[in-house]
């Protein structure tokens, strides 16, 4: 969420939230307008990133929150990674890594397999959603 404040002849954009969306908005505003627009990012937490966290422990990484994207169809995200010089931090998925993914749920680690998500109620709620017809929005007259 952001709003624009007019100060003299320079615009001042205040971006609320330092999650992935807020950080992206602030970055692209700066890229597009440079010094013509002052950008201020406000974040309530001590660190930015929103729900995304990568925690290294011993020989493993623990990821919290949304932390991946698909390069196919995610050209903007991949461009941003290269613009920020983060390409060396990319970890492409492979079969070995895919076989060693876990989710911490219900107080225990569960290995993620091709069909493991189907055992959970949340999966079926999301899956069935695509069969629910869209509701029509009525306009007030």
Predicted confidence band of residue 141 (pLDDT cuts 50, 70, 90): very low
Q: What's the pLDDT at 46?
A: 92
As a whole number of angstroms, the distance between CA 19 and CA 54 comes to 14
Predicted confidence band of residue 17 (pLDDT cuts 50, 70, 90): very high
As a whole number of angstroms, the distance between CA 105 and CA 89 comes to 27
Q: What's the pLDDT at 85?
A: 92
Cβ neighbours for 69, distance < 8 A, ≥ 6 positions apart: 77, 78
The secondary structure of residue 51, as a DSSP letter, is T
For 20-27, the CB contacts below 8 A with 24+ separation are: 20/49, 20/50, 20/52, 20/66, 21/50, 22/48, 22/50, 23/48, 23/49, 24/80, 27/80, 27/83, 27/84
pTM (predicted TM-score):
0.59
Report residue 55 as tokens: 């925690």
Q: What's the pLDDT at 92?
A: 73
pLDDT 10s digits, 68-115 = 555 555 777 788 889 989 899 887 766 666 666 777 767 777 777 655
Over the chain, what is the mean pLDDT? Answer: 75
Q: What's the pLDDT at 10?
A: 75
């Amino acid at each position: 969420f952001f709003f624009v404040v007019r100060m003299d002849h320079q615009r001042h954009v205040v971006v609320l939230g330092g999650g992935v969306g807020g950080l992206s908005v602030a970055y692209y505003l700066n890229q597009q307008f440079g010094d013509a627009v002052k950008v201020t990012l406000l974040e309530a937490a001590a660190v930015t990133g929103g729900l995304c966290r990568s925690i290294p422990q011993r020989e493993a990484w623990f990821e919290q929150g949304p932390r991946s994207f698909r390069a196919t169809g995610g050209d903007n995200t991949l461009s941003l990674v290269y613009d920020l010089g983060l390409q060396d931090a990319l970890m492409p998925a492979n079969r070995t890594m895919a076989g060693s993914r876990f989710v911490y749920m219900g107080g225990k680690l569960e290995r993620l397999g091709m069909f493991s998500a189907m055992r959970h109620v949340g999966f079926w709620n999301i899956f069935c959603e695509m069969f629910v017809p869209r509701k029509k929005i009525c306009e007030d007259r």
